[in-house]
């Protein structure tokens, strides 16, 4: 029982990270990014390229992945979404779908579709708490990463100038551009941060299971569930969202069998849409037009 709860908690941590990526883009860039799954998978594969295929030292792996993923974010904004600014919202969503398809093709072309095992910095081991509660080292790593990311994001948005500018640009891009904020760079930063956090989630998930495009991409899409529970625009709301999805998935799988993992989050989404589409922490007034 305790092991199950711990499993749900470590899974929730990963969901919190993915949900954070969804919310950040929705909030800062105003885009419902349906390419999150594909981008998350690409991030994990880039990490794998540095770590496993090239066998580089770990600092280089981390820095290289960070730089590549951030650059990808910048390219995404400058090449695609900058050109689409001013288009209706649905055009942006369709563009993310197109992006998802293209990225999947690129990834499958470069890395194939079969599952891989990533090089580990420390050998994976089982950690035991008390009498029977067990979890894995990498599960705890994921939990730590989530706590770290959320704490950092909190500090960043609350106290740093750049963070406050990002919030301003999200609130009202025209006014903040008038006030001297380089809105384009805010958007680039938004993409870079979202992609980085997504990549971290993908890497943590891949360490706990295996790295396959399909599996990691599906995780990225399911991360929409915690974001939706949080109201799509609330970073704080992602945490209870992630806990709900993590619990639903863990116990659903326990009761209905392993393949239930694929749909638990989606059922949660349908339920949320039915009873409270604005989520638990979203903006109070949902635009009904």
Q: Is 126 in a helix, a strand, or coil?
A: strand
Joined together, the tokens standing for residue 20 give 């954070």
Q: If binding is defined by CB under 8 A, does position 287 make contact with another protein?
A: yes
**What is d(CA 242, CA 114) in angstroms, rounded to the nearest whole number?**
28
For another protein, the binding residues in 129-188 under the rule CB under 8 A are none
286 near another protein, rule: CB under 8 A: yes
Q: Of 98 and 144, which has the nearer Cβ to another protein?
A: 98
Give the ranges where the chain is alpha helix by DSSP (H). Answer: 2-24, 36-48, 58-75, 89-111, 137-159, 161-171, 173-178, 183-208, 213-222, 224-229, 238-256, 261-275
Q: Which C-beta is closer to another protein: that of 123 or that of 258? A: 258
- If you count them, how many residues does the chain have? 289
Considering only residues 4, 32, 66, 168, which one is a binding residue for another protein as defined by CB under 8 A?
32
Q: Does 259 bind another protein (CB under 8 A)?
A: yes
Applying CB under 8 A, the span of 41-49, 145-153, 220-228, 241-249 interacting with another protein comes to: 220-228
Q: Which of 245, 263, 281, 283 binds another protein (CB under 8 A)?
A: 263
User: For residue 184, what are its two tokens?
Assistant: 């384009």
In the region spanning residues 97 to 136, those forming contacts with another protein, defined by CB under 8 A, are 97-106, 108-109
Burial (Cβ within 10 Å: 0-12, 13-18, ≥19) of residue 159: exposed
The residue within the footprint of another protein, chosen from 57, 59, 88, 258 (CB under 8 A), is 88
φ, ψ of residue 135 to 5 degrees: the values are -150, 180
Pair of tokens at residue 145: 């990463």
Q: Using CB under 8 A, which of 2, 67, 75, 84 touches another protein?
A: 84
Q: What's the closest the beta carbon of residue 178 comes to another protein, in angstroms? A: 24
Stretch that binds another protein, among 149-157, 196-204, 235-243, 255-263 (CB under 8 A): 255-263
- For another protein, the binding residue among 11, 18, 24, 34 (CB under 8 A) is 34
Q: Is 41 in the site for another protein (CB under 8 A)?
A: no
**93 binds another protein per the rule CB under 8 A:** yes
State the DSSP string of 156-185. HHHH-HHHHHHHHHHH-HHHHHHTT--HHH
55 near another protein, rule: CB under 8 A = no
Nearest-angstrom CA–CA distance, 226 and 175: 31
| CA proximity to 227, closest of 190, 192, 279, 262 | 279
75 counts as binding another protein under rule CB under 8 A: no
Closer CB to another protein, residue 84 or residue 162?
A: 84
CB 108 within 8 A of CB 44: no
Q: How far is the CB of 267 from another protein (least distance, A)?
A: 7
Q: Identify the residue among 54, 58, 129, 266 touching another protein (CB under 8 A).
A: 266
Query: Dihedral of CA 3/259/223/79: which sign?
Result: positive
Residues binding another protein (CB under 8 A): 32, 34, 80, 83-84, 87-91, 93-95, 97-106, 108-109, 221, 224, 228, 259, 262-263, 266-267, 269-270, 273-274, 277-278, 286-289
């Amino acid at each position: 029982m305790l092991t199950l709860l711990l499993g749900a908690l470590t899974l929730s941590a990963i969901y919190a990270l993915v949900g954070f990526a969804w919310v950040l883009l929705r909030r800062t860039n105003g885009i419902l990014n349906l390419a999150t799954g594909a981008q998350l998978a690409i991030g994990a594969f880039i990490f794998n390229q540095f770590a496993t295929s090239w066998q580089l030292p770990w600092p280089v792996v981390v820095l290289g992945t960070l730089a590549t993923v951030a650059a990808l974010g910048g390219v995404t904004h400058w090449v695609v979404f900058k050109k689409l600014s001013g288009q209706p919202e649905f055009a942006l969503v369709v563009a993310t779908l197109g992006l998802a398809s293209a990225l999947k093709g690129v990834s499958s072309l470069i890395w194939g579709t079969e599952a891989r095992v990533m090089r580990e910095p420390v050998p994976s081991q089982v950690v035991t708490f008390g009498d029977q509660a067990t979890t894995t080292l990498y599960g705890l790593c994921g939990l730590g990463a989530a706590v770290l990311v959320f704490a950092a994001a909190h500090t960043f948005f609350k106290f740093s100038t750049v963070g406050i500018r990002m919030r301003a640009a999200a609130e009202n891009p025209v006014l903040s551009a008038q006030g001297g904020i380089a809105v384009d760079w805010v958007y680039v930063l938004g993409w870079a941060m979202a992609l980085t956090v997504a990549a971290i989630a993908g890497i943590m998930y891949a360490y706990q299971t295996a790295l396959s495009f399909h599996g990691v991409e599906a995780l990225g899409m399911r991360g929409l569930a915690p974001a939706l529970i949080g109201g799509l625009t609330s970073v704080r709301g992602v945490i209870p969202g992630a806990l709900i999805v993590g619990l639903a998935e863990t116990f659903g799988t326990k009761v209905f069998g392993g393949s239930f993992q694929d749909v638990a989050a989606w059922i949660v989404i349908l339920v949320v849409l039915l009873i409270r589409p604005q989520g638990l922490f979203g903006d109070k007034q949902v635009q009904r037009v």
